Structures are given as structure tokens and as C-alpha cells.
Structure 1
């Protein structure tokens, strides 16, 4: 019998949290009104995460798992789980327990009311640094103002999606994936469940500043053309300033021929300004061209080293990676 619910949990070096995470999701699943499958995706972990996942699979056949051949990143691990999910209701949550599984029954209730996407919206981030809270606040509001689709603020990948939505996401072949943006792009009835985000149960933060910055750049480039237009605006601004400067230098030359303002300093400032505009524009173009290059290669989104608990799907694993 196929499961009613599929819970997708990407894992990267989470040996300290896995058993507690399993205890909590099992307690919630036991209260559900249908069969639940737990899809654990080992994203190239270097610790004992895969071994613990295998042990959980042996003691509970609801636990299915995918082990990626290397670390492909959080978004690709979620994508792999979506490809293999068999349920009519799919939930994505993190293994660090910052996304409380106890919210899932409330999400399911919203789904029964007719919503096809139910996302968890953070009201508060407990025990996070001021810098982290500030940068997250700025990023989500900047993305919302620049993106061509309405991406809710203060939301992560913790969400519930209907089978119809997941089938559409699986049909999208793009390489640079931003799941929370894609689920907004597909449309359908969507609503929020608000919660206060807890600190990690154990272990170190996996989303470093560098990874968070990369995800932010990817989201902006994937869902907005404003950065491309920015280079045009900078070019127009530099042209206007250059014209103004030419008039000003001519005025100084006629009224104060011995003024140092008409010499090397003025020329150097103009050169540095125009050079910076050109470099910014080239960098923006490079971001978009780099993504075009990734798309045209059409490589598989991920590769699998091991699959457990998907007996009926093993023969189709190659097709599902594309």
C-alpha cells in the first residue's frame, strides 16, 4: 500500500541529532491517520550519519533513505527526496529540529481545508546572533521586493505540498534550484503556519555565511531580472555624472585655470568610477551567463550511491535523477 504522507529530511553530518529527530517524527507519525514514509537523504555526510540511517531503516521499515554520491547541497538533497516521494502529501523539514515536526498535523489540517502549499513562517529566531537575524531580515525583504513572484518573507524549506505541486516541481529540470521560490512560482492555494524557530538540538550550523550568501545570490538571480537592469541604470548614471563633470571641469577651466580641480585628481576619479561600473556590470552578466552554462550542460541534478526502502522504485532511479 503506498503511503499517504512522505516526510523528506535532508541530512549532512547530523549524527548527534538523528536519533532524537527519529524519536520525535515517529511520535508525530504514530498519531497520523495514514501511512507515513520517512525519506532521509544523506547528502555526502562525513560522519556516522549514513550508518545511523541504515540502523533506523532496519528497525523501522517506514524509514527509506537515499545516499548521494557526494555533497550536492541542501536544495539538491531536497530535490532527490521530492523525486522519490510516493505520498499524496509531502512534507519537507530539516534534521536539526529547528523545524518542529509537531507542527505537521496543523499543516495537514490546512491541507484538508483546500490549501496545496502550507509553509512555516518564522516569527522569531531563538538564540541566533544579531548579525544572522539582521541579514536574514534584509535578505527576505529584498528578495520579496525584487522577485517577479510573491515569495513569502521569513520562510525556509519547511513546508507541506500536495502531490500535484510536487509533480510540477519534479518536472522542472533547472540546475540552480531554490525550492521555496519554485513552490511560490507554481501558484495554487498557499497559506502560512507561524512559529518560533528553536535553536539546533545539537551539532554545528551547516548553513555557513558563505553558503547562505550563495543561496541568496542564487535566489535573486533565479527569480529577478532587476540585477541585469541595474547595470543599465548604473551606465545611465555614470553617463549623466560624466556629462555633469565635463560641464563642471569646463567651467573651472574658464573661471579658474590654475585650480587643481581640473587636473589629475578629477581624471582619476572619473576613471575609477567608470571602471567600477564596468566591473559591476560584467559581474552581474557573469552570474547569469554562468547559470546558462550550467543549464545547457544538462547534467543529472545528483547521483546516487545507495538507495534503501524503495524496492519498487530502484529500477527507475536513473530516470528520476534527470
Structure 2
């Protein structure tokens, strides 16, 4: 039986490039050795993305799409794609073609050997990213590597996953989901291959400073409890330091050299007050994630779906 591949493409306000992207993907994959479909996930776009996808799917039976009722974020879009895909394997890629479609040939060839379950495309070069974005990405990767057991250096969402891996990932029901982390956490046989990030020929990046910071905090909190443990360790350190300072103060008093210094007291109060507030903020992040889990709301809501092979599923 011929294998089938589902290519999942999350989109947000990409109406201007959709026709170009579909044409380029089909042109570059015309000799792919397996049957494939394109499943677009419209993450509540404000432009005409939905209308363009609907129009394309009317004439191109290879194209299916699902559309959210509002913007739920890329992670939700990826998982919606995985839940609605019916291929024997899935590839996740960006619509702007910075993930080169022709690279899928190498992924599929490795998958068809039956020796690999997940093919991770890692960035050999990062393309024309801003200095800030490169620094932010490096900082995030270093922190994730230090705070978790996951190796996410230069990783991306550009991956091929076998159906059995997808089945296990979808068993993870937390509300704040980190696709890169979960695809590593579930295990199985991984193979990392390098690719060069292509230049964006059309459109602009949808990642803002605020989104990058929120994305980093959410994923660190989701995948690691070490920040909470660091607070405890710091608390023990402060207690030890306080005992030492009390001992020094008593000793100086007994020998007739009472410690003076209003400035020192104020600085100490300011420092420890700031530390306490920061610690409360970290604890608050974890509590907010627990609150989201307790509410039990879905991670996305479908407004419309169209599957040209009538295999669409619901969340």
C-alpha cells in the first residue's frame, strides 16, 4: 500500500503569499515518491487568508484547510494539524518557504528506510535574522538545554514525524504545548539533518518582541520546574547569609565596634525586596499554568474545515 504524507502548514495573515506558496511547493515536490496532501491551518487570520484557502481548495484537491474562530497561536495550529491529519507521516513547515520544500525529499527517503521515526531539520545557517532575534534564540536554546534534558540547539518546527510518534504526542493533553519539546520528549528514533534557512521572498515575520518573550517564558515554565527549585536554593543561601551577618554583628558589638551604616541597610532591603517580588513572579507563572489546566478549555476552536478526502476530525 502506498504511503501517504500530510504536510501541515500553519498560516496567519498570509493571504498574499498562499497561491505562490502552493504553486512552489507542488513544483518542487512533483517527484516525491509518496502521495501527499497539503493541510493549511488558518490561525484566525484577520486578512483574506480564509477566502484564499477556500478558493484554492475548490480547484486543487490536494489542498485542505481548517480555520480557527480566532488567533490561538502557532502551537495550537500545529497540534490542530496533527489531530486532523490522516497521513502515515506528517511534515510541519512554514508557509513563507524559509523551510525549503525540496528538503522534504531527504526527509522522506530517510523515513522510508524504516530506521528513523523523527527527522529533525536543524538550522545550519539562520538566514537574514535580526541581531536581536539571533540573540533571543540563542538565549532561549541555552536556557532550555540547561533547565531541561532536551537538546534543542538550532532546532525548528520543520520536522517529519511518523504516525506512531504523532499518536504519542497527541496523548499529551496539557493546555500549554511546546511542539519542539514534546517531539523530543516522547523519544523514538531521531535523526538530525541540517538545512539552510531560505530568504523570505514575500511577506514579513509575524513574530514580535512580545510574542518571543511570552513564547520563551511559556515553554520554560511548561518543561522545567528548576526555576522553582532555584528559589528554594536561593532562600537557603539568604538564610545562611543572614545567620553569618547576625553573628558578625553580635561579635562586633561585643568587642565594642558596633556596625553602623544606614546606606547598607537600605541597599539590603531594596535587594531582598526585589528578589522576593521576582520569586513571587516566577511562582505566579507556574500558578497561572495550573489555573489554565484546571479550566480545561480547548486549545483551539474550529470555525470551518474542508478536507477534500473527507477525513477531517474535530478537537
Structure 2 length as normaliser, TM-score? 0.93
- The alpha carbon displacement at 1:48 in A equals 1.6
Structure 1 length as normaliser, TM-score? 0.91
Instruction: Name the residue aligned to 1:137.
Output: 138
Aligned 1:161-310 pairs, distance under 5 A: 161-250=161-250, 253=253, 254-257=255-258, 262-309=260-307
Residue 156 of structure 2 aligns to a residue whose secondary structure is strand
Deviations 1:192-231 (A, max 9, x none): 1101212322222111121111111122112111111110
Give RMSD over aligned pairs.
1.9
Distance 1:303 1:311 in 2: 21
Unaligned runs of 5+ in 1: none
Instruction: Name the residue aligned to 1:102.
Output: 102
- The alpha carbon displacement at 1:179 in A equals 0.2
- The alpha carbon displacement at 1:18 in A equals 1.4
Distance 2:117 2:2 in 1: 20
Residue 80 of structure 1 aligns to a residue whose secondary structure is helix
Residues 252 and 199 (structure 1 numbering): CA distance in 2 closer, same or farther, change over 3 Å?
Answer: farther
Matched-pair contact (CA < 8 Å) for 1:231–1:277 = no
Matched-pair contact (CA < 8 Å) for 1:29–1:36 = no
Residues 23 and 83 (structure 1 numbering): CA distance in 2 closer, same or farther, change over 3 Å?
Answer: same
Distance 2:7 2:286 in 1: 33
Matched-pair contact (CA < 8 Å) for 2:41–2:66 = yes
The aligned length equals: 313
Q: Does 1:37 align with 2:11?
A: no
Distance 2:5 2:102 in 1: 15
Residue 175 of structure 2 aligns to a residue whose secondary structure is coil
Residue 155 of structure 1 aligns to a residue whose secondary structure is coil
Distance 1:40 1:89 in 2: 16
Unaligned runs of 5+ in 2: none
Distance 2:173 2:31 in 1: 36
- The alpha carbon displacement at 1:53 in A equals 1.0
